[in-house]
Structure 1
Amino acid sequence: MNAIIKRPLKSLGYGFIPEAQLPEGKDEYHLRNLQNRSGIQYRNLTASEIEKLVRNNNTSDDWNKICVSDDFNPELVKNCTFFGLVRIGKLEPVYLEYNNVALPVGLYNSTIISSDFGDNVVVNNVKYLSHYIIGNEVMIVNVDELHATSYAKFGNGIVKEGEQEGIRVWLEVRNENAGRKIMPFTGMLPGDAYLWSQFREDKELLQRFQEFTEKRFDKKQGYYGKIGDRTVIKNTSIIKDVWIGSDAYIKGANKLKNLTIDSVPHAKTQIGEGCEIVNGIISVGCRVFYGVKAVRFVMASHSQLKYGARLINSYLGNNATISCCEVLNSLIYPAHEQHHNNSFLCAALVMGQSNMAAGATIGSNHNSRAADGELIAGRGFWPGLCVSLKHNSKFASFTILAKGDYPAELNITLPFSLVSNDTANNRLVIMPGYWFQYNMYALARNSAKYVDRDRRKDKVQHIEYDFLAPDTINEMLEALNTMQRLAAQAKGAIREGMTDDDVLAIGAALLEQPEFNKILLSTAPFENSKRPVELLKAHTASRMFRELIGYHFVNQLCSYMQQKQGKTLETVLTELEQEQGIAAWQNIGGQLVPTAHMQQMLADIRSGKTSSWEELHGFYSQQGEQYAWLKLAHAWQALKQTSKISLDNFTTLFAQVVNEAIATRTWMTEKIYQSRAKDYQNAFKQMVYDNEQQMEEVVGSLEDNAFIQQQREELEAFTARVTDMVSRFL
């Protein structure tokens, strides 16, 4: 039986805060008065104004509870029913227009309960509007239900006074068993979500994070919903317990409940037709359109959900897009793309710059007896058409998987790899360094486009988009060791009593031989199976990784010296030698941070030295300011590991290192051109065009390609800069 509550009509619009939660000496409007910062001076209605309101078919339980500004025009209020304290700002005989919908200012055909209105609002055909504070020049048209409860939390994972812990909203990211659950809050950055979900064994740290969140919000009951200036809401069914920023646009939504919809003039948020969105945070500049279903989620700034997408128990990073598919229990870093109706992502940590192809089924198969599997994918993860993966799996940065149903868990530690499932020979095939050999155009262009598409104005976290960075350099270093061990293993050269250094030396010598480009292994640590693994282009990848590590150092050094023109190269090198604790790095929400610095930050949180999310965000900003230097110092350490260079012989070998870097940048530029040229030279692509001129009109000229031209110009500039740096040093 439905619990229908019956109360006297005269109490409608009053008693918003339960008596047990009302502070002593305060009335039910004390929080409302704090929230209303419009600056409007309200007064009681005059007898003439009441007469005009009654003549216009308006009613009120108590006309003395209707307060207005001096510029109130009663002729612009018609067919409305008022209950409780209602305060109305300026109403002028003008109309507001937005997206070709023009409506007169005023309140029309609506039921309004205990709410405040700014100046020159349009409220038309709102069947139930209760306990909201509405800003200036807001348009609200054809809404069935718009109201807030006294215990509204606006999507934040908090519990109000008098409520039970069980009603708290958690996000069960990265794992379906809730073992990594976190509390959503407005302003949550990807790094926050990662740190909270990662260190689950550290109970003290988890407790601090919960304290950070709870102290951001007042637990008192009685806060009204708010709608910011110039927001437009039309043709929407239910809006309950939703805080809406300024300049937002909501049209045709089915249900919005327990949300913060953040929006500002320079980053407007829009929600479109058919959406049902519950228990979440939508940050500035977001777009949510066409039948989206989202429950228990956070959308970071400038992210998008479109075309029937489903986002549940997940965090979606900045500048990411999901459409036409389902994403569950995932933590997704910035710059993620997923556009296909039949792609599925579940229980995953995806570290950004990722792209999910049609038919990709990521994480649907649990190999344990509970739904507790996980998948971790480094930056640049790209599962191809109809890829199916098993939990648990883990992928190094810029792994691309060819179409296939992968039968066992994978641990791909070699970066920039193409992974294939060779069903004919029943083996796993891995080609490390694939991107540099066959798809350099896409690799380089993607790094550039992510920078261009980063629409964040407040870049608290410095997101790394370059494919050469401390995380990928470390993976290359580890990959070199792995390939050397595997080469020695495949050759049968490992003997009892050998040290690891002996094995690595044998493997390195083998990988110097061009004929050692293919390694067939009966067992390898890449797949949880007994089938063989084939390693392709091992010799080529080994050579390229070393060249790229050298190029990365010279590139970082050149950039740093340009910024610090007062420093000499000798001074910089001496300071680089003194930098400690930067060997290992962590990808914290797309921001790369030395592990030692992260551990110190976590220690500061445990000790109370860092005591809020704002202070933690200050750490992110500080790391961003230091990043160029720390990245250079790391590049120097990496170069020393893969070459004979040191501070003592730097003068002797520096010119050689620079020349090799120029050669590397040259072949990278040539590979960018060649990989794009393949699209023009493919006979099957040419066959749909009558002639070459027609093809160029449709797809554009290869020689006029703006990105290729830009890369050639950057090569010339790089060559000139490093040549000048060498001449000044020597």
Structure 2
Amino acid sequence: MNNNITRLPINSLGYDFIKKEYLPEGENEYYLRNLQNRNGTEYRHLSAFEIEALVRNRNTSDNWNNLLVSDQFNPELVKNCRFYGLVRIGKLEPFFLSFSDLKVAVGLYDSTIISSDIGDNSVINNVHYLSHYVIGAEVILTNINEMQTTDKCKFGNGIIKEGEDESSRIWLELCNENGGRKILPFNGMLPGDAWLWSKYRDDEKLLDKFQEFTESEFKTARGFYGKVGDRTVIKNTNIIKDVWIGSDAYIKGANKLKNLTINSGTEGRTQIGEGCELVNGSVGFGSRIFYGVKAVRFVTAAHTQLKYGARLINSYLGSNATISCCEVLNSLIFPGHEQHHNNSFLCAATIMGQSNIPAGATIGSNHNSRGADGEIIAGRGFWPALCVSLKHNSKFASFTMLAKGDYNYELDIPLPFSLISIHPITNSLVIMPGYWFMYNMYALTRNAWKYVDRDQRNEKVQLIEYDFLAPDTINEMFSALKSLEIFTGKAYFKSIQNNKSSTESIYRKKGKELLNDASVNIDELSILAEGYENSKRNVEIIKVQKAYNIFKRIIAFYGYLHLFNFVQKEGINSVTKWQKSFPKKPQRGVWINVGGQLIPEKNVLQLKEKICNNKVNSWDELHAQYALEGEKYVKEKTMHAIASLEELLNINLSQLDKKTFIQFIDEAIVTKKWIFEEIKKSREKDYSNPFRKMMYNSQTEMDNVVGKFSDNSFIIQQEIELKNFIAQTKKIKANWIV
């Protein structure tokens, strides 16, 4: 079969961009272009002198009457160019533009330009084929092989144009390789949008509404031009096709950019570098993509990084996330994700943020069943160690760490802050709940601070939760307390009753009794979990009593913090004022991580109803709902914390007396001091460990390499925070009257 190459008259080149059957009545092929070009320039025809100057400078045109210019056009700054169709040029002045080490003269040189608008004082140099683009002011385009827009351009959005078949629509097949959770990509997609759309597959009306939102957001008319915003620089690039590019972007050495929206501007300057190939997607503001990246069918949110040969396919990457040197397929990744190593693989996963995927990790060796339909869901703070292999389907609570190993069975680990490992002798699965609090408080608290500090978003439509003490983790800790009680009680009865079974309530009652009795040592019990792994081997839970007490202490501290904040905000300084201001029936309730934003389940259900009942009718309106949820978050989190404290202590806080309140303050100070000491101790180990110190001949050498422990800025900051907390709580105590 031959290539379909047609021969057409040269005088038709650059015309009839929109076929007549797709033109609205009374409009010409430039009606959309005129809407897109908002620079305010008044164009005029060339003078005879200007045409003569252009011809003298070896320029050609199929029709000089279709080359329109501004009043400040200088024909001496246009040399060796070929013009076809309607071309409009802004002012050209005799100076050069300098960007970084690049210095180029203003004007149009050695280029073929077809039916395009060129903004004021831009540079078009050695662009072999520029077709149907609107170029902004002071733009630099140099050494580009092909830059064109087709009449069916969609700029990476999941729509189809007039006359197109449904089969040409682009979908993102998130979370699952079989396409069962596919969504339509669109510019401006937030992680909450992607999660809601991919999650609720049993609600067909909701899914239809999301498709309606997307299709109504973007016009289906044919004939839009590509755009390059003001002050954008593009150099040494091969192919740019159907791409919308914002202002102040920097693109250098890219291989292929096709069917994209590249957001850039005051919200964040985007850079795309050498060897990159991006097709069918949207790039968020302030993103950096360079050194051989391959991304196909993708959306990246604001301030993301893709680098060093990363491959991102059929995936959504949340804001402030970095992926380099590795392969990510069919995944939905919430904000604050890190993945840096060439030999890591992430597939068919929903990763709920603040995560880190290491070298050698295979998170999603799919096809474990008879089809490519497995999934992995990991809560916030997911952190597998080197060379971890997981099997679909698996699910993990927040802040789960997995030690190096091949996990050959499906896992469902609901215990938060856990370390999971495989015993080298017994081959049993071993879970240490509360690991982070016991052994790495420094990393836990520093990461929470780090993600807040590094959140570069200008428009924080979704309020992303980075604190490790939040409604989702607290609820998981409550569930963990119940499970630990049941498993402990069951282990106790098994040890004395020769495997006689009993009821769950009896197991829980006995386990609670044992775990709350400091004089009882339960380490001799073999405490096993059930339903955590799809295997016949034992699943051991270790350090149960310690984890149990830490969870209770942490939940209480969470409650105290929000209780004190509530007291301060409401100006409460007596029991009488407390009883008047105490919230009616505070509820702990279920909370959902919606793209990194924590929202009560009841609010999510109400939001779905609003969408289905036409009370929310666009993505912008849905995003406004996220913002409203963010405004309510502090209050709702406080109510959750107070309800959690009531449930933990089994008291009615509406009857709070001064003695109990003072006791809360004293306990909170003790816990805050304990947290600080654990932060300090967990970091200090890195300085006292002999296997760390053996690399250095002297303390001075070690200090110069890793820094002095006493100079650790985060620990200094935490010490200041501790002092402020003590002063603040003592002030609350002193102001409490009766």
Question: TM-score normalised by the shorter chain: which range applies?
Answer: over 0.9
Give the match for residue 162 of structure 2.
Answer: 161
Give the match for residue 622 of structure 1.
Answer: 628
Tell which deviates more after alignment, 569-578 or 168-177: 569-578
Confirm or deny that 1:109 pairs with 2:116: no
Among candidates 679, 689, 709, match of residue 696 of structure 2: 689
Which residues of 2 match residues 585-600 of structure 1 at below 5 A?
585-600=591-606
- Aligned to 2:731, what secondary structure does the other structure show? helix
1:213-267 CA-partner distances (Å, limit 9, x unpaired): 1111111001000000000000000000000000000000000000000001341
1:115-171 CA-partner distances (Å, limit 9, x unpaired): 001100000000000000000000000000000001100000001111011111100
User: 1 CA distance for matches of 2:221 and 2:187?
Assistant: 18
Tell which deviates more after alignment, 516-525 or 175-184: 516-525
User: 1 CA distance for matches of 2:362 and 2:552?
Assistant: 35
- Aligned to 1:551, what secondary structure does the other structure show? helix
Which residues of 2 match residues 492-507 of structure 1 at below 5 A?
492=493, 500-507=504-511
Change (3 A) 1:523 1:189: closer
For structure 1, list consecutive stretches of 5 or more residues without a partner in the other structure.
none
Confirm or deny that 1:508 pairs with 2:512: yes
The code of the aligned residue for 1:505 comes to K
Which residues of 2 match residues 463-482 of structure 1 at below 5 A?
463-482=464-483
Among candidates 683, 698, 717, match of residue 710 of structure 1: 717
Alpha-carbon shift at residue 726 of structure 1 (Å): 2.8
Give the match for residue 448 of structure 2.
Answer: 447
User: 2 CA distance for matches of 1:323 and 1:69?
Assistant: 46
The code of the aligned residue for 2:511 comes to G
Tell which deviates more after alignment, 685-694 or 645-654: 645-654
User: 1 CA distance for matches of 2:104 and 2:529?
Assistant: 72
User: 1 CA distance for matches of 2:16 and 2:319?
Assistant: 41
User: 2 CA distance for matches of 1:406 and 1:425?
Assistant: 15
Tell which deviates more after alignment, 131-140 or 403-412: 403-412
Alpha-carbon shift at residue 558 of structure 1 (Å): 2.9
Give the match for residue 94 of structure 1.
Answer: 95
The code of the aligned residue for 1:73 comes to N
CA contact (8 A) 2:586 2:640 kept: no
Give the match for residue 731 of structure 2.
Answer: 724
Tell which deviates more after alignment, 420-429 or 445-454: 420-429
For structure 2, list consecutive stretches of 5 or more residues without a partner in the other structure.
none
The code of the aligned residue for 1:503 comes to Y
CA contact (8 A) 2:586 2:642 kept: no
Change (3 A) 1:573 1:243: farther
Give the match for residue 307 of structure 1.
Answer: 308
Change (3 A) 1:565 1:273: farther
- Aligned to 1:708, what secondary structure does the other structure show? helix
Change (3 A) 1:278 1:571: farther
Tell which deviates more after alignment, 614-623 or 104-113: 614-623
Confirm or deny that 1:358 pairs with 2:359: yes
Give the match for residue 425 of structure 1.
Answer: 426
CA contact (8 A) 1:581 1:596 kept: no
- Aligned to 1:578, what secondary structure does the other structure show? coil
Give the match for residue 658 of structure 1.
Answer: 665
CA contact (8 A) 2:347 2:366 kept: no
Confirm or deny that 1:552 pairs with 2:553: no
Alpha-carbon shift at residue 574 of structure 1 (Å): 5.6
User: 2 CA distance for matches of 1:190 and 1:89?
Assistant: 40
User: 1 CA distance for matches of 2:579 and 2:242?
Assistant: 57
Give the match for residue 331 of structure 1.
Answer: 332
Give the match for residue 638 of structure 1.
Answer: 644
Which residues of 2 match residues 364-375 of structure 1 at below 5 A?
364-375=365-376
- Aligned to 2:398, what secondary structure does the other structure show? coil
User: 2 CA distance for matches of 1:523 and 1:579?
Assistant: 34
Tell which deviates more after alignment, 364-373 or 61-70: 364-373
Report the RMSD for the aligned CA atoms in angstroms: 1.7
Change (3 A) 1:522 1:658: closer
Change (3 A) 1:540 1:247: same
Equivalences, count? 730
- Aligned to 2:260, what secondary structure does the other structure show? strand
Give the match for residue 676 of structure 2.
Answer: 669
Which residues of 2 match residues 339-358 of structure 1 at below 5 A?
339-358=340-359
Alpha-carbon shift at residue 591 of structure 1 (Å): 0.3
User: 2 CA distance for matches of 1:569 and 1:231?
Assistant: 62
- Aligned to 2:239, what secondary structure does the other structure show? strand
Which residues of 2 match residues 180-259 of structure 1 at below 5 A?
180-259=181-260
1:496-527 CA-partner distances (Å, limit 9, x unpaired): 99664443221111213452246534662211
User: 1 CA distance for matches of 2:55 and 2:43?
Assistant: 20
TM-score (norm 2): 0.97
Which residues of 2 match residues 78-89 of structure 1 at below 5 A?
78-89=79-90
Change (3 A) 1:69 1:383: same
Give the match for residue 272 of structure 2.
Answer: 271
- Aligned to 2:710, what secondary structure does the other structure show? coil
The code of the aligned residue for 1:660 comes to E
CA contact (8 A) 1:523 1:531 kept: no
Percent identity among equivalent residues? 58
The code of the aligned residue for 1:108 comes to Y
Tell which deviates more after alignment, 324-333 or 359-368: 359-368
Tell which deviates more after alignment, 588-597 or 515-524: 515-524
User: 1 CA distance for matches of 2:267 and 2:572?
Assistant: 38
- Aligned to 1:64, what secondary structure does the other structure show? helix
Change (3 A) 1:519 1:59: farther
Confirm or deny that 1:607 pairs with 2:613: yes
